[in-house]
């Protein structure tokens, strides 16, 4: 993917406006949604997952930086950060200078860094690798996402899994249903009653046509949910902050959504990487740190777990364009009140490499299994066929 | 004898969206003559004359104000080019040729947001028009030195001292062979073969710089030689996977989002690596007739088809409506010249999100409001059956008919609902 990737999808779409909220008249009120049968099974201590996808392959070695390792400085003479430039996490590792908020959360034990995560025989293609991460299926191509299968397994109301991107990410597509992708732009609700009729299924219609019809039914219901949200407190800046503000308002309003998918793009930096990546990581740091701090302020918010991943890291050695080419293992971040902070998984060696790439220390499905078990109260085997191990400690 | 439904199916796929009179003409001509006519058209078009590229023409020491003015001028050129292309899609007599140009744009998936030059994007499109309908070999060789593609995939940075693998990888994965038909070692060797090509500032022409090229032997896909870009292209063209991959990509956009069955793929691939021959084999394959409703219209296909049927020329729309049209397409996730990634646009149910549904409804209302007078008059007389004929929909379900009936008799409202309907979202 290019330097613009998915960012542009959200550019220009403002937050849900106060006037549009006031004018909106959905078919359901929030109270009615909360009474829906499927919610009644939800345990009182149910947690919420916020999955943050970094599109483009974030350079893990410039995110969690082995500043004390001479091999790091040797491999990247122009890209490497000096030890004094990075906020230190311990005697060997530090964070990108743009991530001061994360450094503070790490000190407070609210940030877990899972190291060396990828899958066996890593694929260097953005599309294939992102597909593998989103489907949770490294062995063979799959058309369903791991959280889409979770949705299938739990009853499948689209409002259980919400994305604030116009095009639904594969991760939320199930075999029988799919999460809701909720528009973030101004709402136009005038013609809704007429359109609701398109939402009824018609006997014997083709599958994709039925899906098109169903999106009208989903639209009416999602409208109701969003229209019942309180207005934004302050105008968030940046695509990720806009998405996370909507998530925060949903959580604080007590909606039944268990999974939110948000994203930040632009990490495919083959050239002139250093400044651009630091800018992106600063945006990530500001948006996520603000979100985590806001979540700590309410009971519902203290049940939220944020997980951040990218499709792969970058090659250890820099290329001649002051960038890095597609690599393998990288870090997954877990944040939030339920998280026990610290390092998990071993730090990959910079000298014992697999054809110029970091060796994979942990299968990404161990992380997914942890999130399924400890955040979504679901047996991982139902979603990740044949997978039985998980991470011990962070949740 | 092909039925009207079969002819409508062919025309829905081979054009941006057929008008009822085109289906009538196909009924008179028959399937074979209709297909032959579709496949024979040239894709030539008078390209818009933009003049010098404002950014490229900028002197090196230009100040901030001059730079901003040039960027603004480029943005305007891009907007003009998008509108020109949409108008061309609606107006083109040779619809399959025009749709194939759009297909290749999605295949080579280059975005102006990184290339930042409308002129370079139009030059790339000229290559689609000149070579896209013919043998794949000359087309591939032209594309490997296409300035916009080189900028897009960091060919600028690919030198013998430090190869940049971006173009090499995507040329195998996304452009010629597909995942699983090459190794990481092949990617690294291919990057070396592609070293040396640079885009010259000023006139945005691709030039070969021998000092940056790695002249040594490379082993790519089991073949060894001192390959340059053309030599590497010949290696790709010699792979049996190449024609199978092209057949699969055409099937994916013109026939069905479901994976192409192996026997069908083999039959189509037998036509050889030539887009027109492959298209002919695809449209005449027995499996093609069974693919109705297996594609979701991409936003551009949906809007251009609607404008053809409603008698709307984008270039003649009032300025405000033109802006709403291009913004609406962007909101739906598909702006011409700006695919989201080198993987091109998504397909199938990805276009049917709740968000997209909302934006499609808004755009349907805009287009219905701009429909030509005779179209609206015809609708007043023809009712729901007239709407199905106008939009070349095989039939509306009872569910949808009930929505139409509730909406009353205002032809614009009926039209907007027809364009928004689930039946019209697929093809």
Question: Which of A222-226, A248-252, B410-414 shows the highest mean pLDDT?
Answer: B410-414
Asked whether the predicted pLDDT for residue A175 surpasses 80, the reply is no
- Rounded mean pLDDT of chain A? 82
Pairwise CB contact (< 8 Å): A270 & B338: no
The answer to whether the CB of A25 falls within 8 A of the CB of A255 is no
The residue extents of the domains of chain B are: 299-425
The answer to whether the CB of A172 falls within 8 A of the CB of B368 is no
Pairwise CB contact (< 8 Å): B397 & A188: no
Pairwise CB contact (< 8 Å): A9 & B356: no
Q: Where are the alpha helices (DSSP H) in B118-214?
A: 118-131, 136-143, 147-152, 166-170, 184-193
Torsions phi, psi of A323, nearest 5?
-140, -170
> What percentage of chain B carries pLDDT values higher than 70?
100
Q: Does A29 touch chain B (CB under 8 A)?
A: no
What is the model's pTM?
0.76
What is the per-residue pLDDT for A13?
Answer: 20
The encoded tokens of residue B344 equal 């091109």
What is the per-residue pLDDT for B359?
Answer: 87
Over residues A54-84, the pLDDT tens digits come to 998 999 999 999 999 999 999 999 899 999 9
Write out chain B residues lying below 8 Å of A167, CB-based: 333, 340, 346, 350-351, 353, 355-356
Write out chain B residues lying below 8 Å of A8, CB-based: 113, 338, 340
What is the per-residue pLDDT for B358?
Answer: 84
This model of the complex carries an ipTM of 0.94
Q: Does B342 touch chain A (CB under 8 A)?
A: yes
Pairwise CB contact (< 8 Å): B355 & A182: yes
Alpha-carbon distance A56 to B363, whole Å?
A: 31
Pairwise CB contact (< 8 Å): B362 & A124: no
Q: For residue A172, what is the nearest residue in chain B, using CA coordinates?
A: B350
Pairwise CB contact (< 8 Å): B426 & A208: yes
> Nearest CA of chain A to the CA of B361: how many Å?
9
Tell me how crowded residue A367 is: count the other CB atoms within 10 A of its CB: 21
What is the per-residue pLDDT for A192?
Answer: 62
CATH topology of domain A48-184+234-382: Alkaline Phosphatase, subunit A (3.40.720)
Q: For residue A174, what is the nearest residue in chain B, using CA coordinates?
A: B349
What is the per-residue pLDDT for B24?
Answer: 98
Alpha-carbon distance B340 to B113, whole Å?
A: 9
Q: Does A210 touch chain B (CB under 8 A)?
A: yes
Average pLDDT over residues B232-248: 97
Average pLDDT over residues A33-38: 34
Alpha-carbon distance B229 to A176, whole Å?
A: 46
The encoded tokens of residue A136 equal 């949770």
What is the per-residue pLDDT for A70?
Answer: 96
> Nearest CA of chain B to the CA of A140: how many Å?
11
**Who among B292, B343, B426 is closest to A212 (CB)?**
B426
CA proximity to B142, closest of B109, B108, B188: B108
Over residues B143-171, the pLDDT tens digits come to 999 999 999 988 888 899 888 888 999 99
Q: Sorting pLDDT into bands at 50, 70 and 90, what band is B5? A: very high
> Nearest CA of chain A to the CA of B410: how many Å?
14
Pairwise CB contact (< 8 Å): A167 & B398: no
Alpha-carbon distance B384 to A203, whole Å?
A: 19
Give the helix/strand (H/E) hosting B358: helix B354-369
Q: Does B409 touch chain A (CB under 8 A)?
A: no
Over residues A99-138, the pLDDT tens digits come to 999 999 999 999 999 999 999 888 877 777 888 899 998 8
The neighbouring-strand residues paired with A52 are A262, A308
Alpha-carbon distance A18 to A229, whole Å?
A: 10
Q: Which residue has the tokens 């594969």?
A: A170
Tell me how many helices (H) and strands (E) chain B has.
Answer: 22, 4
3-class secondary-structure state, position A309: strand
Q: Which of residues 122-181 of B touch A (CB under 8 A)?
A: 152, 154, 156-157, 159, 161-166, 169, 173-174, 179
Pairwise CB contact (< 8 Å): B354 & A319: no
What is the per-residue pLDDT for A226?
Answer: 67
Torsions phi, psi of B40, nearest 5?
-90, -10
The residue extents of the domains of chain A are: 48-184+234-382
Alpha-carbon distance B258 to B264, whole Å?
A: 12
The residue count for chain B: 427
Pairwise CB contact (< 8 Å): B331 & A222: no
Torsion over CA: A281, A283, A285, A288 (sign): negative
What is the per-residue pLDDT for A18?
Answer: 20
Q: Sorting pLDDT into bands at 50, 70 and 90, what band is B254? A: very high
The encoded tokens of residue A85 equal 């430039």
Strands B205-208 and A259-264 come out as unpaired
Torsions phi, psi of B19, nearest 5?
-85, 155
Q: Which of A77, A215, A356 to mutate to test the interface with B (most CBs of B within 10 A)?
A: A215
> Nearest CA of chain A to the CA of B37: how many Å?
30
Tell me how crowded residue B238 is: count the other CB atoms within 10 A of its CB: 11
Judged by average pLDDT, the poorest of A192-201, A215-224, A255-264, A370-379 is: A215-224
The phi-psi region of residue B252 (left if phi > 0; otherwise alpha if psi is between -120 and 50; otherwise beta) is alpha
Pairwise CB contact (< 8 Å): A208 & B423: no
Alpha-carbon distance A313 to B145, whole Å?
A: 29
Largest CA distance in chain B: 74
DSSP B176: I
> Nearest CA of chain A to the CA of B129: how many Å?
25
Asked whether the predicted pLDDT for residue B185 surpasses 80, the reply is yes
What is the per-residue pLDDT for A185?
Answer: 54
Pairwise CB contact (< 8 Å): B154 & A270: yes
**Who among B114, B295, B355 is closest to A166 (CB)?**
B355
Q: Does A107 touch chain B (CB under 8 A)?
A: no
Asked whether the predicted pLDDT for residue A38 surpasses 60, the reply is no
Q: Does B349 touch chain A (CB under 8 A)?
A: yes
More confident residue, B216 or A270: B216
Q: What is the DSSP string of A73-127?
A: HHH-TTTPPPGGGS-BSSSS-EE-TT-HHHHHHHHTT-EEEEEEEE-SS----HH
Write out chain A residues lying below 8 Å of B112, CB-based: none
Pairwise CB contact (< 8 Å): B354 & A215: yes
Nearby residues of B183 by Cβ (< 8 Å), 6 or more positions away: none
Alpha carbon B322 to chain centroid, angstroms: 20
Q: Does A166 touch chain B (CB under 8 A)?
A: yes
More confident residue, B382 or B14: B14
């Amino acid at each position: 993917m290019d330097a613009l990737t998915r960012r542009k999808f959200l550019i220009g779409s403002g937050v849900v406006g106060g006037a549009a909220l006031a004018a909106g008249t959905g078919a359901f009120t929030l109270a009615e949604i909360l009474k829906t049968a499927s919610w009644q099974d939800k345990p009182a201590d149910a947690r919420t997952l916020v999955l943050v996808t970094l599109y483009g392959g974030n350079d893990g070695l410039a995110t969690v930086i082995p500043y004390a390792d001479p091999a790091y400085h040797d491999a990247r003479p122009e890209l490497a950060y000096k030890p004094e430039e990075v906020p230190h996490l311990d005697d060997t590792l530090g964070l990108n200078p743009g991530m001061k908020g994360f450094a503070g959360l790490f000190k407070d034990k609210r940030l877990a860094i899972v190291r060396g995560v990828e899958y066996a025989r890593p694929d260097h293609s953005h599309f294939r690798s992102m597909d593998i991460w989103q489907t949770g299926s490294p062995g063979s191509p799959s058309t369903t996402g791991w959280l889409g299968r979770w949705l299938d397994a739990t009853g499948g109301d689209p409002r259980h899994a919400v994305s604030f991107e116009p095009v639904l990410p594969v991760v939320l597509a199930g075999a029988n249903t799919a999460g809701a992708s909720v528009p973030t732009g101004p709402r136009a609700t005038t013609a809704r009653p007429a359109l609701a009729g398109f939402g009824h299924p018609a006997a014997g219609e083709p599958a994709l046509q039925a899906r098109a019809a169903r999106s009208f039914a989903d639209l009416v219901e999602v409208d109701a949910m969003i229209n019942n949200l309180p207005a934004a407190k302050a105008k968030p800046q940046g695509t990720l902050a806009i998405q996370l503000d909507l998530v925060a308002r949903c959580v604080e309003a007590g909606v039944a959504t268990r999974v939110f998918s948000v994203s930040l793009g632009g990490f495919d930096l083959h050239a002139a990487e250093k400044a651009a990546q630091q800018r992106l990581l600063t945006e990530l740091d500001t948006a996520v740190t603000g979100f985590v701090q806001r979540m700590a302020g309410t009971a519902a918010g203290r049940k939220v777990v944020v997980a951040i991943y990218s499709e792969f890291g970058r090659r250890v050695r820099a290329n001649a364009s002051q960038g890095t080419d597609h690599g393998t293992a990288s870090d997954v971040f877990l944040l939030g009140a339920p998280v026990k902070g610290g390092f998990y998984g071993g730090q990959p060696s910079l000298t014992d490499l697999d054809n110029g790439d970091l060796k994979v220390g942990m299968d990404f499905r161990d992380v997914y299994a942890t999130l399924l078990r400890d955040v979504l109260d679901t047996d991982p085997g139902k979603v990740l066929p044949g997978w039985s191990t998980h991470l011990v400690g962070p949740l | 004898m092909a039925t009207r439904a079969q002819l409508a199916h062919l025309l829905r796929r081979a054009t941006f969206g057929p008008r009822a009179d085109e289906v009538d003409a196909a009924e008179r001509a028959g399937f074979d003559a209709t297909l032959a006519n579709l496949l024979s058209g040239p894709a030539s078009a008078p390209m818009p004359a933009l003049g010098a590229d404002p950014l490229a023409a900028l002197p090196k020491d230009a100040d901030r104000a001059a730079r901003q003015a040039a960027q603004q001028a480029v943005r305007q050129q891009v907007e003009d080019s998008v509108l020109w292309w949409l108008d061309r899609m609606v107006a083109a007599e040779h619809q399959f040729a025009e749709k194939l140009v759009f297909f290749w744009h999605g295949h080579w998936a280059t975005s102006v947001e990184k290339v930042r030059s409308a002129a370079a994007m139009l030059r790339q499109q000229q290559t689609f028009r000149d070579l896209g309908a013919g043998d794949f070999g000359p087309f591939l060789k032209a594309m490997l030195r296409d300035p916009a593609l080189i900028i897009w995939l960091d060919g600028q940075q690919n030198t013998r001292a430090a190869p940049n693998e971006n173009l090499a990888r995507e040329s195998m994965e996304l452009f010629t062979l597909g995942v699983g038909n090459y190794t990481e070692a092949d990617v690294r060797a291919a990057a070396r073969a592609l070293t040396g090509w640079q885009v010259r500032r000023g006139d945005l022409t691709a030039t070969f710089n021998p000092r940056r090229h790695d002249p040594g032997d490379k082993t790519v896909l089991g073949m060894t030689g001192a390959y340059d870009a053309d030599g590497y292209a010949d290696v790709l063209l010699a792979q049996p996977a190449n024609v199978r991959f092209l057949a699969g990509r055409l099937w994916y956009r013109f026939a069905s989002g479901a994976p192409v069955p192996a026997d069908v793929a083999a039959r189509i691939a037998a036509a050889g690596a030539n887009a027109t021959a492959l298209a002919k084999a695809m449209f005449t394959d027995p499996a093609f007739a069974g693919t109705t409703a297996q594609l979701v219209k991409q936003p551009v296909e949906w809007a251009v088809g609607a404008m053809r049927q409603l008698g709307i020329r984008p270039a003649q729309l009032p300025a405000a409506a033109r802006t709403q049209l291009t913004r609406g397409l962007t909101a739906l996730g598909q702006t011409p010249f700006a695919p989201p990634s080198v993987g091109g646009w998504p397909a199938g149910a990805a276009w049917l999100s709740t968000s997209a549904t909302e934006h499609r409804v808004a755009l349907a209302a805009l287009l219905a409001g701009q429909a030509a007078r005779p179209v609206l008059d015809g609708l007043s007389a023809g009712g729901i059956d007239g709407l199905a004929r106008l939009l070349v929909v095989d039939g509306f379900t009872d569910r949808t008919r009930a929505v139409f009936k509730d909406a009353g008799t205002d032809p614009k409202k009926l039209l907007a609902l027809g364009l928004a309907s689930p039946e019209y979202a697929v093809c």
